[in-house]
Chain A
Amino acid sequence: MAENGKPKLALYWAASCGGCEISVLAIHEKILDVAEAFDIVFWPCVMDFKVSDVEALEDGEIDVCLFNGAIRTDENAHMAHLLRRKSKVMVAYGSCAMEGCMPGLANFYDRERIMQFVYHDSPSTDNPDGVEPQTRTEVPEGELTLPGFWNTVRTLDQIVPVEYFIPGCPPEAKWTEAAINAIISGELPPPGSVIGMDVTVCDECPRERSEKKITRFYRPYEIIPDPDICLLDQGLFCAGIATRAGCGALCPQVNMGCRGCYGPNEGVVDGGARLISAIASVIDAKTPEEIDAVLDTLPDPAGYFYRFTLARSLMERTRLERQNGHKVARPLEEVPRLDPALKE
């Protein structure tokens, strides 16, 4: 606590698109309540603070740190460790920090493939000498450095222990508010909780769902769906059936399937695996072969099922552990994910 009795708050963005930062500001005038209720000690996107200001704090001096963005470079990891050490409570804010989000799909490829395309094979690149960015470059006047770019996108809790998770790409303002109110009132749910609801997007979706068995998938551009009937019933892929509620079913309300940005529900270890079994249950088939035949009409299943969760998935963890030769920090199943007192 600061001398004035206000809790100390830090906000940080690592490998982020900036949308999460904007979503914090999307609480509009309530942002003034935040400025009123907290002593903001670090928010580089918005106010002038230096990393040295954070370094100067006592360990554990920050009450809460809202951390958005994934971990992709040495710098991102450095900041995650620093802020963890200085904070009593670490919150993974948004899908990137929580589960890797879409940029986590980069884990299907490696660094070399990215460098090869961007600096050599891209049709607009002109690079006759085959130059690639280096962490150290000698220029005539001295040396320039760049942070190392990792092979793998990692979630925040694969790098440091995390107490709370706020899902969404980006989180909707009401959940940001709920989290902030919980912090102000001191009524925080048990550590490990996801701040949100534990029903699915279907429960918030106004479309009529008859759990019809489907015989094939359609690509989103192939049909014009009936506006009142469940998209999945009409053969359009919708991750809403295995995605945590909280957004108000925004995408289905404009005739587009959910892609799962709120992540899986409580207790689900692997969001993609959960989604596969949920989708399999609506397929009109009896044998595995028949299921496969229907799934064949869904292109890129890995990209659909793990759209937001690849970086934190079991599939991914196995790979990480093999690569590192040890268990990655804080495997998901060790984090109790209890229902927060914030249910609507």
Chain B
Amino acid sequence: MTAISTSQRITIDPITRLEGHGKIEIFLDEAGEVANAYFQVPELRGFEVFCLGRPAEEMPRLTNRICGVCPEAHHMAAAKALDDLYHVDPPPTAKKLRELLYSAFYVTDHTTHFYALGGPDFVVGPDAPASQRNILGVVAKVGVEAGLKVINTRKRNHEVIKIIGGRVIHPVSALPGGMSKPINEEERQFIEEAAHENIEFALWSLDLFEQIVLQNSAYVDLILSDGYTQRTYYMGLVDENNHVNFYDGLVRVVDPDGVEFCKYAPHEYTEHVAEHVEPYSYLKYPYLKEVGWKGFVDGKDSGMYCCTPLSRLNAADGMATPRAQEAYEKFYETLGGKPVHHTLATHWARLIELLYAAERMLELVTDPEITSPNVRTIPTETPTVGIGIVEAPRGTLTHHYETDENGILTRVNLIVGTTNNYAPITLSIKRAAQAMIHNGEVNDGILNMIEMAFRSYDPCLSCATHSLPGQMPLEVIVRDANGDIIDRRSQYCTP
């Protein structure tokens, strides 16, 4: 990197200036072109350290406090790490209950993202005023009925999470060797009903995407455009048939040509993934160890990888349920084969995963074993090392615990969902800035473009960049070399 004297500097704070949850800084060179872009995460909470000394079995209830948006993911990764730690195999029903809860969680999470956060860009339109690009705008466009469908989807799946997990936010029921409580027939019927409704809702959502996005060539061109294309490695959890799985399996990585690069079990994660440190951010940058950290560049020689719904589809050979498989095939036919490198296609991929989660829910809840009272295996072995991996909506989630012979934690390492995408998000921001800023002129479209690139990843920096009804305010401040503001643009209010 050549040293460039700063002539202008742009600061973009997602949310608000002092929010403390994420900051984008763009530096221009003297010619007014983008010299570099930085995306900083100003938060560190230290769960890896303060969990030391705690009994390992408390981890499903401790680590869900990392994130109130995806506590279910931490709850499940922790439970799996504990099964491994205690060398215990939970009864089949317990595993199915966990996956059932987890599928319901995926349905609500992907629904929220599509309708409240990412989808408005398409449903309402990328050129619509920002004030309309939110859930209310979606409702205005597709009807109040649609809004109710979204709210009810969230509501019924929250109820499913509460039935199996005991609580909606921060569930409590997973423990080493299984689940604390079975479900009864009445509860099963409720969940089955919810699963049917979820499938209908997912199909309806895909149909909506087809009508509004795929039948509009301007949107398709936008998805296929260069500014939103990035050739990286892709990671995702797969089952024994190399189909997408959220709860269990092996981590598979494909290279930018779509060829399998590696496939690893939880215990091998440190052989494949390492984390790079920069002094300007509290968050580390994971990368593929065998390729190496090459900075913020894409391509086969850079260890940067992505872990998003699109990445999971790219990393797998297909979907395990019939209708999701159909949607999967159509996805690649439409977008020109595998792998797809267009970050905006992530929204479509998310809806395919939504359908899979809904179909999987129905499979699990109609399994004759699901109401079996046998949901616990009592561990008998001495605990040692436990590593659990689940696929969180925002990326592969790894929990690694080591304990003494009493199960008291002596070492904890966590690689959290969004973290996986930290480097590619940074690169996407830089690309958007390079495309939109020339001769020191900050194009109005920059906020939009950065925001859209950002949203496709659905980044959750401890839920930080989530703003619930779909707004992610961005503010651009252009400063001269003395740090004085010479231009200021904001997404929502013109000062």
Contacts and interface: CB of A to CB of B under 8 A. Distances in A.
A49 B43 CA distance: 21
Contacts of A72: 45
B463 interface: yes
A84 to B, nearest CB: 15
B438 interface: no
Interface stretch (B205-213, B279-287, B349-357): B279-287
Contacts of B177: 221
Contact of A142 (B9, B180, B379): B9
B274 A19 contact: no
Interface string B25-65: 10101000001101010111111111111110110011001
Interface in A197-243: 219-224
Given A114-B44, A144-B38, A17 B462 contact: yes
Contacts of B492: 48
B36 A140 contact: yes
- Counting chain B CB atoms within 10 Å of each CB, which of A19, A113, A221 scores highest? A221
B17 A52 contact: yes
B280 A139 contact: yes
B180 A255 contact: yes
B69 A18 contact: yes
B300 interface: no
Given A25-B468, A124-B413, A146-B282, A18 B15 contact: no
Given A134-B279, A144-B280, A22 B68 contact: yes
Contact of B53 (A142, A222, A303): A303
Interface stretch (A75-83, A85-93, A157-165, A186-194): A75-83
Contacts of A75: 18-20, 42
B38 A109 contact: no
Q: Is the interface of A mostly helix, strand, loop or mixed?
A: loop
A25 B69 CA distance: 12
Interface in B361-381: 376, 378-379
A227 to B, nearest CB: 8
B166 A21 contact: no
Given A45-B468, A299-B406, A140 B3 contact: yes
A102 B43 CA distance: 17
A134 B379 CA distance: 44
Interface string B144-171: 0000000100010010000001111110
Contacts of B67: 17-19
A15 B45 contact: yes
A44 B36 contact: no
Contact of B180 (A28, A131, A256, A259): A256
Interface stretch (B193-201, B214-222, B311-319, B469-477): B469-477
Contacts of B467: 44-47
Contacts of A49: 16
Contacts of A26: 158, 168-169
Interface in B1-29: 1-4, 6, 9, 15-20, 25, 27, 29
B48 A122 contact: yes
A329 to B, nearest CB: 21
A49 B20 CA distance: 14
* 7 closest A-B pairs by CB: A19-B68, A18-B463, A254-B166, A141-B27, A114-B46, A18-B68, A48-B473
Interface of A: 14-23, 25-26, 28-29, 44-52, 72-73, 75-76, 78-79, 101-103, 105-106, 108-109, 113-114, 117-119, 122-127, 131-134, 137, 139-142, 144, 146-147, 149, 169-170, 219-224, 250-251, 253-256, 259, 299-300, 303
27 contacts: A15-B45, A17-B67, A17-B462, A18-B462, A18-B464, A21-B68, A44-B16, A44-B19, A72-B45, A75-B42, A78-B18, A101-B65, A106-B46, A106-B49, A109-B52, A114-B44, A114-B48, A114-B50, A119-B284, A124-B286, A125-B274, A131-B279, A134-B280, A141-B6, A142-B27, A219-B55, A250-B166
Given A50-B473, A106-B45, A134-B279, 14 more contacts: A22-B468, A44-B15, A46-B467, A75-B18, A103-B50, A103-B65, A108-B50, A118-B44, A118-B48, A123-B411, A124-B286, A139-B27, A141-B9, A224-B376
